[in-house]
Structures are given as structure tokens and as C-alpha cells.
């Protein structure tokens, strides 16, 4: 779909984005289908951007009514789609899944591979350039490699990055195939390096599989390998420095995630270990060797590294310092529901629309309306823990 006939007339819509450094010049230019001669106007605007500054100021967050399909009313463009490709999982992580398990949706309620690829294509045609597969556990899908290959075929439409969040249990043998199919990067979840604690966290065995998958993924030359660690007081917070030590020899990026409340996960404020506490503790260990890294555009993590170490680490501070103002993410869940905010409980069904024979334009319209209804920010910590939401296993982190 052509977004406009006169790209330069659309530039004012993007002016704030460019000035805030929220987008690369080339991605705006591509979205506007600029001619080479019109690129200069984009470049001039972005040359005035503050470096590494992607936060939207209050002034920036004014309603914008004539924005493209994936823009919301606060000027945030959603170029990052997370797709949950299954509700099934081979682990039973305590912070993710209620102890009694979850009721799985019948297969007929889940998007088929063809439907997932159609939804992905529709989003990419509107400007999504990064897709992350999640779940449930994406590697339990028999056709995960074919699915990645299908997504890879969307690159000519503008898709640049394909990534996956996985628990790593059944990943190792698939690593070369996934890489060859077009997967760029992996987030591998591992909350403890202690095999006994691993069992307590996940209600299953298998930490050695995960550690070996992390090592192999690094060796195979994926663009990035991140290790997701959900930090819980009294359970694994003492291991934070040990996880930082993983970055000594391996080019991994360890992400410490603040424990978030979801239905049935027994969240409690006391179990939350905030970013400031973690960084303070690390300063006691590493002193001035801790280097803070510049914020990336649309960052979720505040990045750091230890001077001289190969890898880096960061903190996902959803609980103590949310990053709604630069949020560029939307989610499609395994049942085809679109969720525009991880903590919002409103969902819009795409599956039935598609099965009723909707055209791409009709699906685009529904997506656009949902995104235009996205709130400026999600509720604060105390309210969030009281609000109903799906269990995380059914959303996809
Ligand atoms: N099965 C895959 C995995 O374990 O990575 C993908 C799905 S899992 C829901 C995605 C991510 O969400 C994981 O990194 C997990 O640690 C994170 N997650 C799940 N529940 C969470 C919670 N309550 N708070 C913070 N992160 C959570």
C-alpha cells in the first residue's frame, strides 16, 4: 500500500520523531517512499536530533490524528511486532504460569502457520521491521524453522530483524537451521545457574541444556544472544554478579528483568528487586569498572558493561521505571488477539476477522483503530498488580 503521493508533505508528521532521534532517517525515508532528492530533507531534520535520545517528551506526546496505520495518538510508531506462536511450554516457570497450569485454547482457536504469516506480512507492509517470536515456548512448534523461513521471505517488504525468545531447552539442535532460515538473534531465558534452583524455578530439569544452547548460539554467530533473567528476591538475586561474570568471556547481553505481576503468578512487592538496588549492589562489586552504555532508540533495557569484558548487561525496568513513552511494540497472541500494551487488558481479535474473509485493507483498518486507542502509559505498580491480565505464558514476554 502506498502511504502517500507526496513524501515531503508527510515529513511534518515525522518531524518530531526525527528530532527526537526516535527513528533512523533511512527508515522514515523508506516509509515515505522518498526519492533520493527528498532524502536530504529527512537528513537535515535528523541531523538536529539529540544523540541516543528516544524518549518522547510531554510536548512530543501530543495527539496526532493524521498519522500512519501503526502510529498511535501520541506519535509512537509501532515497528516491532511480537508474535506468540504457541501457548504450550516445556517448562512451568513459577513467575510465568500458575501452579495449576493453564487451560490451553483448542487448536482450532489458534492461528495456523499460514494465518501467522499473513498477519506478519500485513504488519510488515505497514512498516514493522522487527518481528520477535515468543510463546509459550516457540521451539515446541514442529514447524518453527519453516515459520522463520516464511518470515524471512518478508525481507523485501522491509523486514530487517527476526528474533525469538526461548527457554533454550529444545533449542540446541535447531540452532544451525534457525540461523540458516533467517533468524538474526535470540533471547534465551535462564534465571539461575544452579541446577537445583533451576528445578525450583521452572518445575522441570534442564539447566545444562540451556547453558549449552547459549554457548552454541554465541559460537554460531547470531547477531545477538541475550540471556533473560527474571530477578526475584530470596531466589536468585544473589546470582546477579555471577550472571554479570557470564559477560566476561562470552559476547552475551544479560538482561535482568524486574519481576512483573500477571494472573496467577503470586507476584508480591517484596519479591520485586528493583533496578536501583541491583545496580547499587553491582557497584559494590565492580566499582568504577561499570560503564553505562548510551540508551538505544526505543530501548527497553538500560545497558551497562564491565570495562574489558566481551559482553554487556542491562535492566528491564518495567516495574520501577517504565518506558511507555518510547514503546514501539505490539503483540499478536497465539489465538490471534492483538494486544497493544503488555499491561493493558484490552484485546482485539484478528483471527475471526481473517477467517470471515476480511481483505488486507479491512485487517489493516482494525489494527489501526486498536493502535489509535493505545493509552499513553500503563498503570503504576500498585494498580497493575490488582488488574486482571492473562498469565504471561499466554501473552508471550
Ligand atoms: N518460553 C519462552 C521463554 O521462556 O523465554 C518465551 C515465553 S516467556 C513468557 C518470555 C519471557 O517472559 C521470558 O524471558 C520470561 O522470563 C519472561 N517472563 C515471564 N513471566 C515474567 C514475569 N512475571 N516477570 C518478568 N518477566 C517474565
363 lines ligand 1 (CB under 6 A): no
Distance from C-alpha of 152 to C-alpha of 13, rounded to nearest angstrom: 30
Tell me, rounded to whole angstroms, the distance of Cα 266 from its chain centroid: 23
In order, the DSSP letters of 361-379 are HHHHHHHHHHHHT--SS--
CA angle, 134 then 70 then 165, to 5°:
10
Closest CA to 194 of 182, 206, 185: 206
Answer yes or no: are the C-beta atoms of 305 and 288 closer than 8 Å: no
Task: Say if ligand 1 is within 6 A of residue 137 CB.
Answer: yes
Ligand 1 centroid–CA 134 distance in Å is: 9
Backbone phi, psi, residue 130, to 5°:
-140, 130
Q: Which residues have CB under 8 Å from 43's CB, separation 6+?
A: 25
Nearest atom in ligand 1 to 228's CA = 14
Strand-pair partners of 244: none
pLDDT on residue 90: 95
Which pLDDT tens digit goes with each residue over 147-167?
999 999 999 999 999 999 999
Can you give the pTM of this predicted structure? 0.83
DSSP code of 157? G
Is 131 within 8 Å of 163 (Cβ atoms)? yes
Q: How many C-beta atoms surround the C-beta of residue 310 within 10 A?
A: 14
Residue 190 Cβ < 6 Å to ligand 1? no
Q: How far apart are CA 182 and CA 146, in angstroms?
A: 10
How many whole angstroms separate alpha carbon 323 and alpha carbon 380?
12
The C-alpha atoms of residue 32 and residue 15 are separated, in whole angstroms, by: 12
Q: In whole angstroms, what is the distance from residue 75 CA to residue 107 CA?
A: 37
Q: DSSP letters of 314-326?
A: EEE-TTTS--GGG
**Rounded Cα–Cα distance for residues 320 and 322 (Å):** 6
Beta strands in 31-127 (DSSP E): 80-84
- Ranges of the chain with pLDDT below 50: 1-8, 13, 16-24, 48-65
Residue-level pLDDT at 125:
97
Q: Tell me, what DSSP letter sits at residue 84?
A: E
- pLDDT score recorded for residue 356: 98
- Atom 2, ligand 1: which residue's CA is nearest? 166
Label residue 182 left, alpha or beta by phi (over 0 means left) and psi (-120 to 50 means alpha). left
| Cell numbers for 251 | 559476547
Whole-angstrom distance, CA of residue 34 vs CA of residue 7: 6
Residue from 132, 168, 186, 189 whose mutation best tests the ligand 1 pocket (most atoms within 8 A of CB): 189
pLDDT in the model for residue 36:
55
Contact between residue 95 and residue 230 where contact means Cβ atoms under 8 Å apart: yes
How high is the pLDDT of residue 323?
A: 83
From 392, 394, 395, mutation site for ligand 1 pocket: most ligand atoms within 8 A of C-beta:
392
Tell me the C-alpha distance between 370 and 57, whole Å.
23
Instruction: For the beta carbon of residue 308, count every other beta carbon within 10 angstroms.
Output: 8
What is the rounded distance in angstroms from the CA atom of residue 352 to the CA atom of residue 350? Answer: 6
Phi and psi based region of residue 357 (left: phi greater than 0; alpha: psi -120 to 50; beta: remaining): left
CA 362, 13, 155, 324 dihedral sign is negative
166 lines ligand 1 (CB under 6 A): yes
CA 91 to ligand 1 center in whole angstroms: 11
> Mapping DSSP to helix (H, G, I), strand (E, B) and coil, where does residue 292 land?
strand
Amino acid at each position: 500500500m502506498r502511504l502517500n503521493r507526496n513524501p515531503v508533505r508527510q515529513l511534518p508528521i515525522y518531524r518530531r520523531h526525527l528530532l527526537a532521534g526516535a527513528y533512523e532517517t533511512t527508515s522514515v525515508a523508506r516509509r515515505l517512499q522518498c526519492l533520493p532528492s527528498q532524502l536530504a530533507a529527512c537528513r537535515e531534520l535528523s541531523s538536529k536530533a539529540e544523540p541516543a535520545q528516544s524518549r518522547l517528551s510531554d510536548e512530543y506526546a501530543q495527539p496526532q490524528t493524521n498519522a500512519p496505520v501503526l502510529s498511535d495518538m501520541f506519535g509512537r510508531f509501532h515497528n516491532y511486532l511480537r508474535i506468540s506462536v504457541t501457548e504450550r511450554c516445556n517448562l512451568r516457570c513459577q513467575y510465568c504460569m500458575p501452579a495449576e497450569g493453564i487451560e490451553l485454547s483448542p487448536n482450532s482457536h489458534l492461528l495456523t502457520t499460514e494465518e501467522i504469516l499473513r498477519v506478519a506480512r500485513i504488519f510488515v507492509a505497514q512498516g514493522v521491521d522487527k518481528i520477535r517470536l515468543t510463546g509459550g515456548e516457540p521451539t515446541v512448534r514442529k514447524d518453527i524453522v519453516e515459520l522463520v523461513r516464511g518470515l524471512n521471505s518478508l525481507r523485501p517488504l522491509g523486514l530487517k530483524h527476526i528474533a525469538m525468545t526461548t527457554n533454550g531447552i529444545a533449542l540446541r539442535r535447531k540452532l544451525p537451521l534457525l540461523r540458516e532460515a533467517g533468524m538474526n538473534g535470540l533471547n534465551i531465558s535462564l534465571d539461575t545457574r544452579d541446577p537445583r534452583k533451576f528445578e525450583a524455578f521452572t518445575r522441570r530439569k534442564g539447566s545444562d541444556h540451556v547453558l549449552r544452547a547459549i554457548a552454541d548460539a554465541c559460537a554460531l554467530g547470531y547477531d545477538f544472544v541475550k540471556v533473560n533473567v527474571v530477578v526475584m528476591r530470596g531466589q536468585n538475586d544473589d546470582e546477579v554478579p555471577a550472571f554479570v561474570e557470564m559477560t566476561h568471556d562470552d559476547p552475551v547481553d544479560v538482561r535482568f528483568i524486574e519481576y512483573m505481576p500477571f494472573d496467577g503468578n503470586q507476584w508480591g512487592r517484596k519479591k520485586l528487586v528493583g533496578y536501583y538496588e541491583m545496580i547499587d549492589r553491582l557497584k559494590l562489586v565492580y566499582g568504577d569498572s561499570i560503564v553505562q552504555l548510551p540508551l538505544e532508540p526505543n530501548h527497553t533495557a538500560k545497558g551497562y558493561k564491565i570495562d574489558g569484558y566481551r559482553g554487556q548487561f542491562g535492566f528491564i525496568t518495567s516495574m520501577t521505571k517504565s518506558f511507555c513513552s518510547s514503546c514501539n511494540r505490539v503483540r499478536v497472541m497465539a489465538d490471534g488477539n492483538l494486544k497493544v500494551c503488555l499491561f493493558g487488558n484490552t484485546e482485539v481479535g484478528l483471527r475471526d476477522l481473517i477467517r470471515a474473509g476480511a481483505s488486507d485493507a479491512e485487517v489493516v483498518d482494525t489494527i489501526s483503530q486498536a493502535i489509535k486507542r493505545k493509552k499513553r502509559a500503563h498503570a503504576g505498580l500498585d494498580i497493575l498488580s490488582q488488574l486482571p491480565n492473562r498469565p504471561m505464558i499466554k501473552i508471550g514476554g
